[in-house]
């Protein structure tokens, strides 16, 4: 009888603790893929990059969850299909999500809860939101090791249905839904996201599109990969 074995899948150590994947039960998670997402996030450094752009008026001595930790938990939850911040009330104790956020699954501090998430989702000022948007553009620019010969941008507005009375939500007759209509911009060659602009649920005019494009191209030319 053969005894088939497979090579272990290596994960980064957390607080000098080795992570070993096995299948003998115990505390388990249904979102093991979050560890791969976390590895990608750490490589890009997105949560830390965005956190530096948001003012934190809290007393450092009383802070339990840093801004980067809060953003990381929220982003990973959304990426795994948990769109509602209420899901963090359960996921904050999930061993997979705790490992993904640099916490030990049993002895590590639980992640932030829904009230903390909600407070910080409404905390950034308009200027900070603009800086966050430009940070995403800069992240895309940094993804190029060498400037490309040309860049093709794929731009479209997409219906984002809402369930309630959120700010900027409008009724759109074409889609027959109350929604947002964010503008998405992607790099056509690599399918990487370049920028996303949240906006009211109405179809953008040509004048509005030109304004967004003008600011976007100015930012890209200022930071790369397209020379001025």
What does the pLDDT average to over 101-111? 91
Is the pLDDT at 25 greater than 70, yes or no?
no
pTM of the complete model: 0.80
Mean pLDDT over each residue of the chain, to the nearest integer: 88
What does the pLDDT average to over 159-186? 90
Cα distance between residue 23 and residue 145, in whole Å: 39
* pLDDT value at residue 48: 96
Chain length of the chain:
228
Distance of CA 204 to the CA centre of its chain: 25
* CA atoms lying within 13 Å on the CB side of residue 157: 21
Is the pLDDT at 23 greater than 80, yes or no?
no
Is the pLDDT at 122 greater than 80, yes or no?
yes
% of the chain residues with pLDDT over 90? 61
* CA atoms lying within 13 Å on the CB side of residue 4: 0
What does the pLDDT average to over 61-74? 93
Mean pLDDT is lowest, of 1-10, 55-64, 119-128, 162-171, for: 1-10
Domain ranges of the chain: 34-121, 129-223
Cα distance between residue 124 and residue 56, in whole Å: 10
Residues with Cβ within 8 Å of residue 182, at least 6 apart in sequence: 157, 158, 160, 196, 197, 198, 199
Q: Taking the CA atoms of the chain, what radius of gyration do you get in angstroms?
A: 20
Structure confidence by residue, pLDDT tens digits, 33-42: 999 999 999 9
């Amino acid at each position: 009888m053969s005894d088939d074995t497979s090579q272990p899948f290596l994960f980064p150590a957390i607080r000098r603790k080795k992570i070993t994947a096995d299948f003998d039960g115990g505390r388990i998670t249904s979102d093991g893929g979050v560890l791969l997402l976390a590895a990608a996030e750490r490589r890009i450094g997105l949560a830390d990059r965005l956190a530096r752009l948001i003012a934190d008026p809290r007393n450092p001595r009383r802070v339990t969850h840093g801004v980067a930790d809060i953003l990381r938990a929220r982003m990973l939850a959304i990426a795994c299909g948990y769109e509602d911040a209420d899901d963090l009330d359960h996921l904050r104790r999930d061993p997979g999500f705790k490992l993904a956020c640099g916490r030990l699954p049993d002895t590590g501090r639980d992640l932030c809860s829904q009230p903390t998430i909600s407070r910080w989702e409404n905390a950034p000022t308009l200027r900070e939101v603009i800086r966050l948007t430009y940070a995403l553009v800069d992240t895309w620019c940094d993804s190029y090791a060498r400037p490309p010969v040309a860049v093709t941008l794929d731009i479209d507005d997409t219906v984002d249905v809402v369930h309630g009375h959120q700010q900027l939500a409008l009724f759109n007759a074409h889609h027959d839904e109350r929604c947002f209509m964010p503008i998405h911009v992607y790099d056509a060659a690599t399918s990487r996201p370049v920028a996303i602009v949240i906006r009211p649920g109405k179809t953008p005019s040509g004048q509005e599109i030109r304004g967004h494009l003008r600011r976007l191209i100015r930012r890209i030319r200022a930071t790369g990969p397209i020379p001025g």
